[in-house]
């Protein structure tokens, strides 16, 4: 085989690798919008599986007994049965998961009710600048109102076309893709709109109050 052929093949490989990097946005640094170009936040690595993280307790909630309260500082507090929840407008999203324990999982397909549709239903008062999630396992977590009121936030009951499994927070969990995944409450039972911020389970145990993965806000 001629030397030139080998060289040609090596070059082709190099070009392909560089093309892939370009597609992935690799080697882009120092740009103000880096977070939107680069897909993997700092200090994260991609996984193909979906790890399970919880407090060692996975509540088993029958859909018939399940209720979701959306209340606090709102004009029209609601307590929804599963049937009523499914009767709300349905939304599908695709988003990445970024866990503070350094794994990220791309392209998760969710189905559920958009946070914005729940907000429209209960009409939070202007003073309600915080949202506190309460779960069936006793877990709580907090976000600013505008974090919940984003177009990619979904209250999900399906993942990849299947009912959300119990281990991943079924029947219904929150998904807030732009923040570390501990902000996405599994087994959600109450969404509370509040004037005051109320740091949740991990937030009072040293995790960052905001938790933006692009700013690597892991710990406080």
Looking at residues 13 to 32 of the shown chain, list those that interact with ligand MTE (rule: CB under 6 A).
none
> If DSSP codes are grouped into helix, strand and coil, which group holds residue 27?
coil
Residue 61 or residue 99: which is nearer to Mo ion going by CB? Answer: 99
Token pair, residue 37, equals 């170009």
Q: What is the largest CA-CA distance in the chain?
A: 78
Q: Tell me which stretch binds ligand MTE (CB under 6 A): 5-13, 32-40, 150-158, 182-190.
A: 182-190
Residue 100 or residue 115: which is nearer to Mo ion going by CB? Answer: 100
Q: Tell me which stretch binds ligand MTE (CB under 6 A): 4-12, 110-118, 149-157, 176-184.
A: 176-184
Minimum CB distance to ligand MTE, residue 28 (Å): 27
Q: Does 187 bind ligand MTE (CB under 6 A)?
A: yes
Looking at residues 153 to 172 of the shown chain, list those that interact with ligand MTE (rule: CB under 6 A).
168-169
Q: Does 182 bind Mo ion (CB under 5 A)?
A: yes
Looking at residues 129 to 148 of the shown chain, list those that interact with ligand MTE (rule: CB under 6 A).
135, 137, 139
Looking at residues 2 to 61 of the shown chain, list those that interact with Mo ion (rule: CB under 5 A).
53
Residue 141: name the closest of 213, 102, 197 by CA.
197
Residue 72: name the closest of 129, 115, 140, 112 by CA.
129
The answer to whether 12 and 4 are in contact (CB under 8 A) is no
> If DSSP codes are grouped into helix, strand and coil, which group holds residue 7?
helix
Beta strands in the chain (DSSP E): 45-46, 67-72, 78-81, 91-98, 103-114, 130-135, 140-144, 154-159, 162-163, 173-175, 188-194
104 binds, among ligand MTE, Mo ion, none (CB under 5 to 8 A by kind): none
Minimum CB distance to ligand MTE, residue 171 (Å): 12
The answer to whether 70 and 133 are in contact (CB under 8 A) is no
Which residues form the interface with Mo ion (CB under 5 A)?
A: 53, 99-100, 182
Interacting residues with ligand MTE (CB under 6 A)? 50-55, 99, 135, 137, 139, 168-169, 181-182, 184-187
């Amino acid at each position: 085989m001629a030397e030139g052929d080998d060289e040609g093949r090596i070059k082709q490989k190099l070009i392909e690798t560089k093309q892939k990097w370009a597609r992935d946005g690799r080697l882009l640094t120092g740009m103000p919008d880096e977070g939107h170009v680069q897909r993997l936040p700092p200090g994260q690595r991609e996984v193909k599986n979906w790890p399970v993280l919880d407090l060692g307790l996975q509540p088993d909630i029958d859909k018939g007994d399940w209720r979701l309260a959306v209340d606090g500082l709102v004009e029209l507090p609601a307590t929804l049965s599963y049937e009523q929840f499914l009767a709300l407008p349905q939304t599908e999203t695709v988003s990445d998961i970024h866990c503070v324990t350094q794994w990220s999982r791309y392209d998760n397909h969710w189905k559920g009710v958009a946070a914005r549709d729940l907000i429209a239903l209960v009409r939070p008062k202007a003073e309600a600048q915080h949202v506190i999630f309460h779960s069936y396992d006793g877990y709580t977590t907090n976000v600013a109102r505008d974090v919940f009121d984003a177009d990619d936030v979904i209250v999900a009951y399906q993942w990849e076309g299947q009912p959300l499994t119990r281990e991943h927070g079924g029947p219904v969990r929150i998904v807030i893709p732009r923040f570390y995944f501990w902000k996405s409450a599994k087994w959600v039972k109450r969404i509370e709109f509040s004037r005051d911020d109320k740091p949740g389970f991990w937030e009072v145990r040293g995790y960052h109050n905001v938790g933006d993965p692009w700013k690597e806000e892991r710990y406080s």
